[in-house]
Structure 1
Amino acid sequence: MNQNFMIDKNLIRKICDYADLKDDEIVLEIGAGAGNLTAELSKRCRNVIAIERDEQLVSFLIKRFKDANVSIIKGDAVRISFPEFNKITANLPYSISRKITEKILTHKFNTAILVYQKEFAEKLTAKPKAANYRAISVIVQASSEVEILDYIDRKVFFPVPDVNSVIVKVVQKFPAEENFINFVKGMFNRRNKILGNSGKRAYELTPDEIYDLWRTSENLLSK
């Protein structure tokens, strides 16, 4: 997986400011890289749990933060289990953005400050009937409040990426259940099908309407 490291101190401080960290909070950081964001996070919270899959970077991080309030986990964030945390930060490669976002949403947390490719972030905030309204739009908007906070200059990363990035804030209302995620994906796999008595197709329904349909179906199945 190619990584683009944050090298701009102003961007790093901005992400931490958006996270509004408290002294007693635990922050999960996905993709710690060289630890530039990790270092700033560690100054503002009780503990940082930093996940990194690259073996050389993990060795570097362990040495860099041997005396700090930072716990390093070596592994693929898509596959490993997450410990408990209050808030989360991540600089996510486009290739795993959807999978990681779905995984994050199934866990209980307060706030996530996430750096995404611009096109993916716009899917997260897309509205019904929009060309980029997808299953992930519904999953995140039904379970959380989501907004694009800022657009990022490519030059604040090394190496400079080919895509534009944005900072996204996700404030969780409740954890998304796996059954709900699978239900939404199934609906969008048949996006032109008229759904029940609604007279609408999946891409015409709001996230709340789809969530209500799922709750109704779950209640019927439990009887």
Structure 2
Amino acid sequence: MTDKDIATPKRTREILERFGFSFKKSLGQNFLIDTNILNRIVDAAEVTESTGVIEIGPGIGALTEQLAKRAHKVVAFEIDQRLIPILEETLSPYPHVEVINEDVLKADVKQVVSGRFKDGEDLAVVANLPYYVTTPILMKLLEENLPVRSIVVMVQKEVADRIAAGPGTKDYGSLSIAAQYYAHADTAFTVPKTVFVPQPNVDSAILRLTIRDKPPVEVEDEAFFFELVRASFAQRRKTLLNNMSRHFGEDLEKSEVEKVIQEAGIDPKRRGESLHMEEFAELSSRFSGRLAEK
């Protein structure tokens, strides 16, 4: 690590002061000031000289710089116009980095990928995500079926726990199932709040999502499947029967709901958190069939 690295407390402070930059709480800006952690993130994403990287929220370029040292190309989305001149300076040694001043949630990421990278190129998303929009960004990246092999992101530890959770645990919920439908999820390592400026209130974790070739279950209607999953967790302490009756109440009597759950080979008294994805897929198929008969 040298003083030249962006991610040292001294250099970060110097850059921010020179540009008169002030943090915007509304954008969830927390910049990393530990090069060791940044290198561990790049390691977790298995970035090599043949990897193309999509980054979100580069800040002043701390992670971007470490990615650029190893990757073939980096394309970063930055929403904050005030950071663009800073990034132009800090990333000037790296001509293979491109910064797009756009909100990734509104951007056509697929079009950007096809315009900036070659077909079949080794691609990964690597980012220190703003905490207030972590879930919408992750779900957008997963649902858009981007040609990436993995998504490795810094998120709140609590969110990483929820996404990587398995059935029967307190963290398991509709977000776990939504993410694991598209990817294998695991936590690479945790990150203390002390390595950020300003310091967030919570610890973080590096979440690694390895994209699946195909989902682990076959469902006819993905939107209906996810709707049913969300409904199963609507009130966590209630049984599947109660949550499903509430959700399908306008179309099905409670006795019909109970019958459908039993036909799926599931005890209606179970709670959503005890069900595996295969069981949710079976429920989705059964309820979809029953509603079609109406």
Taking a change above 3 Å as real, the CA distance of residues 155 and 175 of structure 1, as seen in their structure-2 partners, is farther
**What TM-score do you get using the length of structure 2 for normalisation?**
0.67
Taking a change above 3 Å as real, the CA distance of residues 131 and 73 of structure 1, as seen in their structure-2 partners, is same
Q: Secondary structure at the match of 2:170?
A: coil
> Would you say how many aligned residue pairs link Structure 1 and Structure 2?
223
Q: What CA distance in whole angstroms lies between the structure 2 residues aligned with 1:110 and 1:130?
A: 28
| CA shift for structure 1 position 153 | 1.9
Q: Deviations over 1:122-150 (max 9, x none)?
A: 11122223222221111112221111111
Matched, 1:17 2:43: yes
Q: Which amino acid aligns with 2:31?
A: F
Aligned to 1:145: 184
Taking a change above 3 Å as real, the CA distance of residues 215 and 47 of structure 1, as seen in their structure-2 partners, is farther
Aligned to 2:58: 32
Matched, 1:80 2:117: no
| CA shift for structure 1 position 99 | 0.8
- Unaligned stretches of 5+ in structure 2? 1-26, 118-122, 216-220, 245-260
Matched, 1:135 2:150: no
Equivalent residues in 2 for 1:105-184 (5 A)? 105-106=142-143, 107-108=145-146, 109-174=148-213, 179=223, 180-184=225-229
- Unaligned stretches of 5+ in structure 1? none
Q: Point out the structure with the larger strand share.
A: 1
| CA shift for structure 1 position 201 | 4.0
Q: Is the 8 A contact 1:93 1:117 kept in 2?
A: no
Q: Which amino acid aligns with 1:14?
A: R
Matched, 1:101 2:138: yes
Higher relative CO (Cα under 8 Å, sequence separation at least 6) belongs to 1
Taking a change above 3 Å as real, the CA distance of residues 216 and 118 of structure 1, as seen in their structure-2 partners, is same
Taking a change above 3 Å as real, the CA distance of residues 154 and 216 of structure 1, as seen in their structure-2 partners, is same
Q: What CA distance in whole angstroms lies between the structure 1 residues aligned with 2:91 and 2:222?
A: 35
